[in-house]
């Protein structure tokens, strides 16, 4: 089961009241939405959005409106579903445990799966297309920009050399390429040597940073006065976008001067929460 991160903190800052409406832009396993629904009855709704149709199949609840779409289309979704007024909007940007453990789409470098990495299986671009058809320079660019990978150049060269012999289709195949393209000490660090490359590919496949940049202004425009926006990010690139946007948006007052991070106890119970950062702002004007 996917364990929602920073649930107590999310509820504290959202502060759901009876009959208020909320939007969960990354519904996932529905853990955060469940907690909101327990507090915003009898008429309050939660609009739950997820780009992965598999995540929506087994979730049902009264007053929960499910939408399969990309949150980059947030304003159109909210208008189509007649969701207003809106008292809070939540983004939990992390990939769910189900994607790593059960999806078989190649998100994890610890399982030998087909290199796919699409959150929405109907999306046209997958990891194999990037690895086998993009230029060496384009691959190097995403490894540098999205993975902050210091050996991006040598890894990109190795990928192009390998694909000239045989198509790159499996996760373990890519893991071995990365290992051979980097110094021996790189594979002995605490952080796995494939982590940054896999992160970069996933971000590129799903346009994660572009979608985040697109959606934040839409979220602000949809919020009622006094409405809260909460974003949980899991790596520095996401957090930087969120931090800079909240600081620059004149309609918002930042509530969290520094990001909220999981307690030691939560990190112990849910190791994947360790990199989470939660930021909150409130809309001060219409």
SS3 of 6-63: the string is CHHHHHHHHCCCCCCCEEECCCCCCHHHHHHHCCCCCCCCEEEEECCHHHHCCCCCCC
Q: Tally the domains of the chain.
A: 2
Q: Does 25 share its domain with 41?
A: yes
Q: 206, 237, 258 — which closes off a domain?
A: 206
Strand order in the sheet with 252-254: 64-68, 46-50, 22-24, 86-92, 223-233, 277-283, 252-254
Q: Does 233 share its domain with 144?
A: no
Residue 107 tokens read as: 């998100």
271 in a structural domain? yes
- What pLDDT, on the 0 to 100 scale, is given for residue 98? 75
Domain range spanning residue 184? 103-206
Q: 149, 182, 206 — which closes off a domain?
A: 206
Model pTM score? 0.95
1 in a structural domain? no
Instruction: Tell me what the mean pLDDT of segment 5-17 comes to.
Output: 97
Task: Please report, rounded to a whole number, the percentage of residues in the chain having pLDDT higher than 70.
Answer: 99
- Considering only 93-107, 207-221, 250-264, which range has the smallest mean pLDDT? 93-107
Q: Does 230 share its domain with 111?
A: no
- Considering only 7-11, 37-41, 55-59, 117-121, which range has the smallest mean pLDDT? 55-59
Query: Whole-angstrom Cα distance, residue 197 to residue 150?
Result: 10
Residue 1 in this model has a pLDDT that exceeds 70: no
Q: Does 149 share its domain with 77?
A: no
Q: Does 88 share its domain with 225?
A: yes
Q: What is the pLDDT of residues 188-215, one digit of tens each?
A: 999 999 999 999 999 999 999 999 999 9
235 in a structural domain? yes
CATH number of the domain enclosing 193: 1.10.150.170
- Considering only 1-15, 105-119, 137-151, which range has the smallest mean pLDDT? 1-15
Query: Whole-angstrom Cα distance, residue 23 to residue 12?
Result: 16
Q: Does 117 share its domain with 197?
A: yes
Q: Does 276 share its domain with 263?
A: yes
Q: Does 82 share its domain with 121?
A: no
* pLDDT class of 3 with cuts at 50, 70, 90: confident
DSSP assignment of 49-116: EES-HHHHTT---TTEEEEES-GGGHHHHHHHTT--SEEEEEEE-SPPHHHHHTS-SS--TTS--BS-
57 in a structural domain? yes
Across the chain, mean pLDDT equals 95
253 in a structural domain? yes
2 in a structural domain? no
Q: Does 180 share its domain with 38?
A: no
Q: 206, 229, 257 — which closes off a domain?
A: 206
Q: Does 107 share its domain with 57?
A: no
Q: Does 88 share its domain with 148?
A: no
CATH number of the domain enclosing 234: 3.40.50.150
Q: Does 197 share its domain with 269?
A: no
169 in a structural domain? yes
- What pLDDT, on the 0 to 100 scale, is given for residue 2? 57
């Amino acid at each position: 089961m996917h364990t929602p991160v920073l649930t107590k903190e999310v509820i504290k800052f959202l502060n759901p009241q009876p009959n208020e409406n909320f939007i969960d832009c990354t519904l996932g396993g529905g853990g955060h939405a469940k907690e909101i629904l327990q507090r915003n009855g009898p008429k309050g709704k939660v609009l739950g959005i997820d780009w992965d149709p598999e995540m929506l199949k087994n979730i049902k609840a009264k007053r929960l409106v499910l939408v399969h779409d990309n949150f980059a289309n947030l304003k159109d979704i909210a208008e189509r579903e007649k969701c207003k007024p809106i008292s809070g909007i939540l983004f939990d940007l992390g990939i769910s445990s189900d994607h790593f453990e059960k999806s078989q789409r190649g998100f994890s470098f610890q399982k030998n799966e087909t290199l796919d990495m699409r959150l929405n299986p109907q999306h046209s671009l997958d990891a194999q297309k990037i690895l086998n058809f993009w230029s060496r320079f384009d691959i190097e660019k995403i490894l540098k920009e999205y993975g902050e990978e210091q050996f991006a150049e040598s890894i990109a060269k190795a990928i192009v050399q390998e694909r000239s012999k045989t198509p790159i289709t499996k996760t373990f195949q890519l893991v071995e390429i990365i290992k051979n393209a980097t110094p021996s000490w790189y594979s002995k660090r605490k952080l796995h040597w494939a982590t940054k490359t896999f992160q970069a590919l996933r971000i590129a496949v799903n346009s994660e940073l572009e979608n985040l940049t697109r959606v934040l202004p839409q979220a602000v425009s949809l919020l009622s006065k006094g409405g809260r926006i909460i974003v949980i990010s899991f790596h520095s690139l996401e957090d930087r976008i969120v931090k800079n946007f909240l600081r620059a948006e004149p309609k918002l007052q930042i509530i969290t001067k520094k990001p909220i991070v999981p307690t030691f106890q939560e990190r112990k119970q849910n190791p994947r929460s360790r990199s989470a950062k939660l930021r909150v702002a409130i809309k001060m004007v219409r």
